[in-house]
Amino acid sequence: MTMPDDRLTALEIRAAEQEKTIEELSGQIAEQWKVIERMERKLAALADRFLELEEQTASDAPVTKPPHW
């Protein structure tokens, strides 16, 4: 009669291990999401800074056709 008890114990161990793995993966995903959000904010700030620099360096000279046209 120990056979069903052994199977039940093995299933309980497997379920506990899977629960632990799921919790670990969930924690890793949460950390990665924080990194992604931080990187998105940095990218947005860099894009804004790039546009500001581009506006500062833009020449006010009108675009004209070259003389050979």
Over range 33-46, report the average pLDDT: 98
CA distance 44 to 58: 21
pLDDT band at 69 (very low <50, low <70, confident <90, very high): low
Q: Is residue 67, in this structure, part of any structural domain at all? A: no
Q: Is residue 6, in this structure, part of any structural domain at all? A: no
Q: Is residue 13, in this structure, part of any structural domain at all? A: no
Residue 32 has pLDDT above 60, yes or no: yes
What share of the chain in percent tops pLDDT 90? 70
Q: What integer pLDDT is reported at residue 3 of this predicted model?
A: 81
Assigned token pair, 35: 């990194």
- Which stretches of 1-69 are DSSP H helices? 2-57
Instruction: List the domain range (segments joined by +) for residue 27.
Output: 23-50
DSSP conformation class of 60: -
Q: Is residue 42, in this structure, part of any structural domain at all? A: yes
Q: Which of 40-69 are b and which e, b meaning 16 or more Cβ less than 10 Å from the residue's Cβ?
A: eeeeeeeeeeeeeeeeeeeeeeeeeeeeee
Q: Is residue 68, in this structure, part of any structural domain at all? A: no
Q: Is residue 64, in this structure, part of any structural domain at all? A: no
Q: Is residue 7, in this structure, part of any structural domain at all? A: no
Domain count along the chain: 1
